[in-house]
Amino acid sequence: MDSLPGTEFQLVLFLRAFDTGTLPKSAWTHAAHIFTGACMVHTLGPSAAEAYMRDAIRRYNLAVGGQNTATSGYHETITLFWVKLLAAHHRATQPASRLAFATEAAAHFAPQRDLLTRFYDFDVVTSIEARQHWIAPTLQPID
């Protein structure tokens, strides 16, 4: 798995780098997305984590030279899917610390590359509609 923060101090530095757009693009991996989302769910709760991730990912994409268009960059359904999934996981596990939860969630979910196909009966990744608007899972609920 990708190298993620192992201490609370490293976590703070990682989140600050993400927030300010100075995190190297190569460090913004699938596991890093999950790790960050898990931190936000643990710290802010699901609704505020959704708002944070929506804004922060868009900002970060622009900061590293990307764009948020109908075919690239920020993806509403995938972002909200992960926050909702992480919130359900948080309710089920209730770990003691933000770092413990984020580390466990990244280790648990990052290897599951086919996860979206278990929840959606279409290619959610390539869907322009799903990129722009939340579409609830079509195959099974998150909770």
Q: Is residue 137 assigned to a domain?
A: no
Q: Is residue 122 assigned to a domain?
A: yes
Instruction: Specify the pTM.
Output: 0.95
Q: Is residue 2 assigned to a domain?
A: no
Q: Which helix (H) or strand (E) holds 115?
A: helix 115-119
Tens-digit pLDDT profile for residues 31-69: 999 999 999 999 999 999 999 999 999 999 999 999 999
Tens-digit pLDDT profile for residues 65-99: 999 999 999 999 999 999 999 999 999 997 689 99
Q: Is residue 120 assigned to a domain?
A: yes
Q: How many separate domains does the chain show?
A: 1
Residues 6+ apart with CB under 8 A from 2: 27, 29, 30, 31, 32, 110
Tens-digit pLDDT profile for residues 18-33: 999 999 999 999 999 9
Q: In this predicted structure, what is the pLDDT of residue 20?
A: 97
Q: Is residue 70 assigned to a domain?
A: yes
Q: Is residue 73 assigned to a domain?
A: yes
Q: Is residue 77 assigned to a domain?
A: yes
Q: Range of 86's domain?
A: 8-132
Q: Is residue 53 assigned to a domain?
A: yes
Q: What angle do CA 43, 74, 76 make, to 5 degrees?
A: 70
